[in-house]
Amino acid sequence: MFSLKQKKAVVTGAGSGIGKAVALLFARQGAWVYVLDINEAQALETVKEIEAAGHEGSAHVADVSNQQQVLALFATLPRVDILVNSAGISHVGTVETTAEADFDRLYNVNVKGVYNCLYAAIPLMKKNKGGVIVNMSSVAASVGLPDRFAYSMTKGAVASMTLSVAKDYIGENIRCNCISPARVHTPFVDGFLKKNYPGKEQEMFEKLSKTQPIGRMATPDEIAGLILYLSADESSFITGSDYPIDGGFIKLNN
């Protein structure tokens, strides 16, 4: 089950975190993975791990917020069967503590970056008579989170774009879904704790973990497993859906 043999998959933000976990899993399932990241060294490291395990992939450098870079990159790809929009950044702040530059930075990566990749990939999928898209939303699109004003805005936009693409291209055999993780233990979390809570990293990590009713953060591999399902033929009847993967955060955190 969940074979991706003969598939060509683009995974953005695949140099680290969730994107890297997706790239490694897709490669194990037989896909050729186009590892896209703004950080060349990290993209190359992901491909190195893919190849070391006997699988196939290639590293590609682009800033997803730059449409010309994205279009130029996709123009070099012979085919795109799967697109996973995993690249994203975060920000801590209310509307009053979110500077215009921070708001624009999050919009450019988390919203425009997804749009740019959709804009580039969908014509290739139409040419190939179909495709699958999985976007990365968040529980922040469904519930109010403290100090996440700009981040929540971007993830709400991702959820809305998912619905629009699913509706517009259902007749083209293109499926589009999104997932909404709660907290995931990625290098971003470790860096955030180190920067904001020096000397108290473990204490704050445990505190953040317990905000999930299940009592811990997710692992990138757990998120990748859901993305694999939504990308594989076994989910061919699913489009226009958002899948929370949140340890009970949305429904049980009362």
Q: How far apart are the first and last CA of the chain?
A: 37
Task: Indicate the Cα dihedral angle 244, 151, 95, 164, nearest 10°.
Answer: -70
Read off the amino acid at residue 152: S
Q: 84, 12 in Cβ contact below 8 A?
A: yes
Bridge-based pairing state of the strands 57-61 and 8-12: unpaired
Query: CA-to-CA distance for 33 and 81, rounded, in angstroms?
Result: 10
Bridge-based pairing state of the strands 131-136 and 82-85: parallel
Cα 32 to the center of its chain, rounded Å: 18
Q: 39, 32 in Cβ contact below 8 A?
A: no
Residue 151 among the catalytic residues: yes
- Of the residues 34, 107, 115, 151, only one is catalytic, namely 151
Residues noted as catalytic: 151
